[in-house]
Structure 1
Amino acid sequence: MPPCSAPTFILTLYQRPPIEMLGGTTFHSVTDGIESALHQARPAAGAKDTKIGGGAATVRQYIQAGYVDEIHLAVAPVVIGRGEPLFNGLDLRAPGYRTVDLAPTERATHIVLAG
């Protein structure tokens, strides 16, 4: 079962029909950018938080556009290839982000940044 159990809007280059999964998750393709995905996700979330997940480039776009109130990072000590830097080219202090929570666990360190 998918981890979200909620409508999920996927940025993609190709439009596809919605995919419904057991447990309440429906995946919707969005081909016209981050604003469109966000404007579809907000009403679907109702009173709940709208969450953004994805690759580093997608997350950076939302941060740069000013749409991200809180960032929750789970940093695990695993090296897998070279990857892409999450905050490349961003100065998180400029819009006021600061660490509001830090919780080390056995498998990861959880860091919450809020702006």
Structure 2
Amino acid sequence: MGELRVHNFAISLDGFGTGEGQSADAAFGHAGERIHDWMFATRYWHEMGGVRRGSVGADNAFATMHSSGIGAEIMGAGKFGPPGWQDDPGYKGAWGPNPPFHTPVFVLTHRPRPSVEMAGGTTFHFLDAPPAEALKIALEAAGGQDVRLGGGPSVIRDFVAEGLVDQMHLVQVPILLGRGVRLWDGLEALEEAYHIEAVSTPSGVTHLTFTAKKR
């Protein structure tokens, strides 16, 4: 049976996974892209665009774990598109005709619609389902591989609260956002359920890894 994993999910020092004021022109609200600057500098990021350059240190090593062994993804409505995308029946996500997932992707929304098949092996399915049910469906689609939980912060929080996340890689970025959507609200004592390790890198970020203790 596959596991549920979170990878490369960036948060600010005060725990926000996205800023306030998300829109079609500002996917992460007032946070902008500052929260992902650490990843944009890595070779992993540049090689996705076909360019061989970028850093090859610890940040790159963590970033490359994003896709290994992944057979499906779960994401929230806020990651799939900006507020109001549900009102556009032709909207197909924020990644163009060939999204970077290349697996089935299950979008959690209270307004499901027919599945959308994209180039490169990505098919978006739209589910109105609680976390445990969504995970069961995604694991079946993953065919024995793992499922990646892509975010946003409220979705990750819900799955962690139900004890469904097996591995979680968070990247704490040295900025303060002050407002937006916080990952940690309502969660406490995670150290009782997870082994936690921290690795700081020259870019200024801290990689936090959570591995579920045997249940």
TM-score by length of 2: 0.47
Q: Which residue of 2 aligns with 1:69?
A: 166
Do structure 1's residue 85 and structure 2's residue 182 form an aligned pair? yes
For 1:46 and 1:107, how far apart are their aligned partners in 2? Answer: 38
Q: Which of these residues, 112, 115, 131, is aligned with residue 18 of structure 1?
A: 115
Q: Residues 11, 105 of structure 1: CA spacing in aligned structure 2 closer, same or farther, 3 A cutoff?
A: farther
Q: Is the CA contact 2:198–2:208 (under 8 Å) kept in the aligned structure 1?
A: yes
Q: Residues 27, 81 of structure 1: CA spacing in aligned structure 2 closer, same or farther, 3 A cutoff?
A: farther
Do structure 1's residue 94 and structure 2's residue 187 form an aligned pair? no
Q: Is the CA contact 1:30–1:36 (under 8 Å) kept in the aligned structure 2?
A: no
For 2:186 and 2:105, how far apart are their aligned partners in 1? Answer: 27
Alpha-carbon distance, 1:40 to partner: 1.0
Question: What percentage of residue pairs aligned between the two structures are identical?
Answer: 38
Q: Which is higher, the Rg of structure 1 or of structure 2?
A: 2
For 2:103 and 2:116, how far apart are their aligned partners in 1? Answer: 12
C-alpha offsets along residues 70-98 of structure 1, whole Å, 9 cap, x if unaligned? 11113334556722211112121132x13
For 2:113 and 2:178, how far apart are their aligned partners in 1? Answer: 30
Runs of 4+ in 1 over 4 A off after TM superposition: 78-81
C-alpha offsets along residues 1-58 of structure 1, whole Å, 9 cap, x if unaligned? 3221110101001111111111111110001222221111001111211111222221
Count how many residue pairs are aligned between Structure 1 and Structure 2.
114
> Counterpart amino acid of 1:24?
G
- Structure 1: tracts of 5 or more residues without a match: none
Do structure 1's residue 51 and structure 2's residue 148 form an aligned pair? yes
Is the partner of 1:15 in helix, strand or coil? coil
